[in-house]
Amino acid sequence: MLNTQQQKELSVLLHEYTVLSNKAGKFTKYDEARAAYLQTAISTVKAGGSLTPTDSPFTTHDEEAELREFQKWVLEYRGPNATEGAPMNAQIGAYSGLGTFVKTFFQDQLFVSMKQFGRIFFDDSFVTLFKSTTANPLPVPIADDTENNLAVIAEAGSQTQVDVDYTNHAVLNGYIYNSSRKVFSVEAFQDLQGTVSCVNLFKKFLAESFARGLTADLLYGNGVSKPLGLIPSLIESIGVTPIIAQGAGVNDGAISTAETSVGSLDIQAMFNALDDSYDNSHTAWLGNRHTLAQLATQKDAVGNLLRLVQWDDSGNASILGIPYVVSPSMESASPSAFPLILGDFSYFATRIIVPDGENVQIIREAPGLIENGNVGMCASLRGDGAVLWSGSGPAPFIVLQNHS
């Protein structure tokens, strides 16, 4: 007596075998191999076997159910009578119209991976993070009244009236980022399970690709069909003057130059330039790992370590008590580069648009796919970022620039 799972598997296998048997024309080599596999699979299930293990030591029960459902979906929609062209658009869907997609459980994993890669821009313990399901323009009010301080007045004295120094708003949009299409064979979906499944591989590629692309634009984007990045916003739009590096030559006896290094005097100048009001849990140094290594190994003229960088028991770095956050997208020290930022990152907003069920697209009917027994996967993500400050008072970010 077959259980429910075996009956479902048998139904799927028999359906595909019937469709394949009724195919007009001569069988291809792939058709012959597929027919042989289906015959063996049908016999196995009829004999009481199953194509999907129920107790895999490498997957959770939820993952097994997800994998079985996806395998069933691929088998049901794959077949020699699949057509290309107009039907593809309806089945894949677009951003404004639903098609057929992987379950949205993927999105949580995406944010985990993005936080690991471009941590500071996707971590709400640092930045102001907005998540929404639509890409309608999102205005965020900003104000600055740092120039107007309370003052003592005499008893029964007259009060003065002063307007708020600055009010405005930043608008967060939703620029679309598309992944490249990854192609997997139908057999790969059947054979791979657990942490090495095709879906998990795609998630790995996709999360890192999005993190690299979006983080780079959140730092350096020019605002033309992409976000206006943090550094261009501060220097070109708001008018913040960067600190020009003196380099590590003053430390190691002129071995290093102001064009290619960051020195202790640069760290001190940045620290002194940041207003005390921005010293809080959202404040951090931001640079890449090469800059961190240069600072951590910096020596004086006689070869002694300066110990600019301190490490806690968890391996987290800090400089002058302020966390150092690594971002691979930050530039290394080089002529005219911006290798280091210090600031209160709550004054930077990241917006991620996550439409329900619309992230990952499964492509079957495209040239080179279903007729060759392949399935494609691609995805899109929309995001933006903006500095939440534009006043005349002290800026919440200090930027270091290497000498040209």
Segment 316-355, tens digit of pLDDT = 999 999 999 999 899 999 999 999 999 999 999 999 887 6
* Per-residue pLDDT at 237 exceeds 60: yes
Q: Report the SS3 class of residue 353.
A: strand
Are 148 and 162 contacting, i.e. CB atoms less than 8 angstroms apart? Answer: yes
Sheet holding 243-244, edge to edge: 243-244, 397-401, 340-344, 283-287, 322-326, 317-319, 309-311
* Per-residue pLDDT at 86 exceeds 80: no
Q: What is the CA radius of gyration of the chain?
A: 29
* Torsion angles phi and psi, residue 323, rounded to 5: -60, 145
More confident residue, 150 or 3: 3
Entry pTM? 0.65
Residue from 83, 82, 38, 46 nearest 190 by CA: 38
Instruction: Specify the pLDDT at position 56.
Output: 37
pLDDT-wise least confident of 56-60, 186-190, 328-332:
56-60
* Per-residue pLDDT at 58 exceeds 50: no
Are 118 and 139 contacting, i.e. CB atoms less than 8 angstroms apart? Answer: no
Instruction: Specify the pLDDT at position 110.
Output: 54
Report the percent of the chain where pLDDT is more than 90. 32
Instruction: Specify the pLDDT at position 46.
Output: 81
More confident residue, 199 or 79: 199
More confident residue, 246 or 213: 246
